[in-house]
Structures are given as structure tokens and as C-alpha cells.
């Protein structure tokens, strides 16, 4: 009966390794999607504006007013 302990431990570690691997794959794909959205915001949506900012699926385009202050010119929700 004492020889069964290592099998249980091995199964638990294999399951934890699988969960960790799945989480890492999801996290890497999420980072690449966010980077693609950021590039789309900066180079496609806000290419005609002075500055851009991307945060949580929302793209903000900024332009300068007559006093040189930055104002929000355009806002787009990225899907």
C-alpha cells in the first residue's frame, strides 16, 4: 500500500502541469492579440492624429488644440 503514494503524487503533478501549460498558452495568445490591437490603434485608426493611446479595447486619438494642449479627437472601441 505504501507504493501507491508516488503514483497519486505523479498524477497530481501531471494535472497541474497540464493546467499550467494551458494557462501559459492562453496568456501568450492574449498578449499577442493585445499587441496587434495596439498596433492597429496607433497605425491604422489614429495615423492622422498627433498621439494615440490604447487601453482595455478602447483606442483614443489625440490632437493639439490652439493652445497646444492635447484633446481627445476620436475614440473607437476595438473588437
Displacement of CA 45 from its chain's centroid (Å): 18
pLDDT in tens, 13-58: 999 999 999 999 999 999 999 999 999 999 999 999 999 999 988 9
> Phi-psi category of 56—alpha, beta or left, where left has phi over 0 and alpha has psi -120 to 50?
left
pTM greater than 0.75 (yes/no): no
pLDDT at 2: 64
pLDDT band at 62 (very low <50, low <70, confident <90, very high): very high
Question: Which 3-state string (H, E, C) describes 26-66?
Answer: HHHHHHHHHHHHHHHHHHHHCCCCCEEEEECCEEEEEEECC
Nearby residues of 40 by Cβ (< 8 Å), 6 or more positions away:
59, 78
pLDDT band at 66 (very low <50, low <70, confident <90, very high): very high
pLDDT at 1: 53
pLDDT band at 63 (very low <50, low <70, confident <90, very high): very high
Amino acid at each position: 500500500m505504501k507504493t501507491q503514494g508516488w503514483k497519486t503524487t505523479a498524477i497530481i503533478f501531471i494535472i497541474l502541469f497540464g493546467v499550467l501549460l494551458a494557462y501559459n498558452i492562453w496568456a501568450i495568445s492574449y498578449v499577442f492579440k493585445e499587441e496587434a490591437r495596439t498596433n492597429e490603434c496607433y497605425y491604422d485608426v489614429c495615423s492622422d492624429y498627433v498621439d494615440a493611446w490604447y487601453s482595455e479595447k478602447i483606442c483614443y486619438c489625440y490632437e493639439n488644440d490652439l493652445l497646444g494642449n492635447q484633446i481627445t479627437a476620436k475614440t473607437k472601441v476595438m473588437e
